[in-house]
Amino acid sequence: MELRETLKQRDTLSSHEVPRVATRDELPLLDLADLQNGGSTHRLAAQLRTACLGMGFLYVANHGVPKDVIDDMFEASRGFFTLPVEEKRTVKVDDRFYRGFLEQGINQHPGYAPDLKESFEFAFDLPPDHPDVTAGLPLHGPNQWPQNYPLLRRAGEAYFDAAIELGRNLLRLFASSLQLEETYFSQYYRSPMVTCRLFHYPPQQAMSRSDAFGVAPHTDYGAVTILAQDPIGGLELKTRDGQWVGAPYIDDTLIINLGDLFRVWTNDVYVSNPHRVVNRTGRERYSVPIFFNPDFRALISCIPTCQSAEQPPKYQPVVFGDYFMGRYRATQKYKGPQAGAATEEA
């Protein structure tokens, strides 16, 4: 089976009523202290597995990303988005590397109105003479930063580095939760595609159309997302039985969720979950997701512990970069860099 065929089977939203708050059973909180300090992770791995068999979303505390680093990232993000639009456009997203500022209306999920947000994107900062850059590998290259606002680069790079460390620790825990050696997923992350996006959601007016959202209902199409959200909230998740529930802000936590790639790795044992953003507060909302994805050239196929003679792999192996580029461009009015023939919408 092709992964894209399964992902096209999406249901539609029927209501914009304010959802109830998720219960702790639906959206658990894991304390990662043992993972950070080298203690036993058997209990944590079991908790992670339970969360992944549920909605695939969870909070993490004692995650290792310093509070001042997170606070600085939000301060820098707020400052950037308050700049005049002409100044933000000096770092408008570039055609080749897809780094920089994206105005509201560029991101659009198929079947919905453009997202009601603006954003800024950066990733691993590769020099022009890096082999992947000279080879023309899509989305590999240098970042671009606003010259007159150096705080954004300082805060962004500090947060990016700390989140990378958390991501690598989470890979160990994911492997343990799937009865694999802790280092199993490291083979896919030698030169990973890790992207940080800064999102700004202006106050959202009462909805005049049913397909308009801060971010429309979707599933993340990579592997693991690490999300820092501000106290405004606005993230909403769809339960397995079709209800929408709110994911409130909790001090000193980050939110982790699965992307669609885990369906291939785990033979649908771990399944990604639809989510959306609605800024109902009448206030500015900010969030900072890190998309912690494998190498562009990584061949993703079903892991040994999730297949058997009775349960053969459901999905064909995929080269991550080819799959990713098809999904990526399907959500952009600005089509960005090209990647061979990987143009089919997801």
| Residue 156 half-sphere exposure toward CB, CA atoms < 13 A | 28
* Block residue for tokens 């592997």: 223
Query: Helix (H, G, I), strand (E, B), or coil: what is residue 332?
Result: strand
DSSP label of 268: T
Single-letter code of the amino acid located at 335:
K
- Three-point CA angle 15, 27, 3, nearest 5°: 70
DSSP label of 90: G
- Convert 164-198 into a string of H (helix), E (strand) and C (coil): HHHHHHHHHHHHHHCCCCCCHHHHHCCCEEEEEEE
227: enclosing H helix or E strand: strand 224-229
Homologous superfamily of domain range 3-329: B-lactam Antibiotic, Isopenicillin N Synthase; Chain (2.60.120.330)
Query: Helix (H, G, I), strand (E, B), or coil: what is residue 228?
Result: strand
Q: What is the pLDDT of residue 70?
A: 98
Q: What is the pLDDT along the chain (346 residues), one digit of tens a residue?
A: 656 555 444 444 444 577 899 899 899 999 999 998 888 899 999 999 999 999 999 999 999 999 999 999 999 999 999 999 999 999 999 888 989 999 876 665 666 666 678 899 999 999 999 999 999 999 999 999 999 999 999 999 999 999 999 999 999 999 999 999 999 999 999 999 999 999 998 876 654 455 556 666 788 989 999 999 999 888 999 998 889 999 999 999 999 999 999 999 999 999 999 988 887 777 899 999 999 999 999 999 999 999 999 999 999 999 999 999 887 776 555 444 433 323 222 2
**pTM across the whole model:** 0.89
Helix residue spans in 82-228 (DSSP H): 85-88, 131-134, 151-177
